[in-house]
A = this chain, B = another copy of it.
Amino acid sequence: MPPSEYPLEGDSVPARHDRAHMHQIGEVAERVGLSLRTVRHYDEAGLVVPSGRTAGGFRLYTDYDIDRLALIKRVKSLGFTLEEMRELLGLRDRLVSTATTAPEYCVLLDRLEGYATAATERCESLRKQLMHADAFADTLRREVERYGHGSPGEP
């Protein structure tokens, strides 16, 4: 099937972003496991702006967009703000871009290193939190066990 069989939606859908390979927000949200509101919010925040829109205004996401949303969902627990995530993803895009000049590259790399360090620290913090959470969950289960026998009205 040649691409000519799939009419493009004018300027709103860039070349190579064939409508047949783009997805509406409902399907995207379902696949990634985020709410419709969250996906729209990430658009409003400039974090993941859909690569296209239909003539009627429906958001259209590419597989690349979906991968971004999935990545964000996976690392959300690191606690970066949406603004920080936006910068981080932007940095990585521009570092692989051939249009980046050498002095700019050094600045980008420096900022990326900052995020790498922060991410590592937050992982350690999360690990401690998880240890405490595990201990607490264990305590609760033991309490249920203990109180389950010998309740005040039981024989």
Q: Which residues of A does B touch, CB under 8 Å?
A: 71, 74-78, 92, 95, 100-103, 105-106, 109, 112-113, 115-116, 119-120, 122-123, 126-127, 129-130, 132-134, 136-137, 140-141, 143-144, 147-148, 151-154
Contacts and interface: CB of A to CB of B under 8 A. Distances in A.
A148 B105 CA distance: 10
Given A126-B77, A130-B130, A132-B75, A140 B152 contact: no
Contacts of A103: 153
Contact of A136 (B112, B113, B119, B127): B119
Copies of this chain present in the complex amount to 2
A105 B152 contact: yes
A122 B75 CA distance: 16
Contacts of A109: 144, 147-148, 151
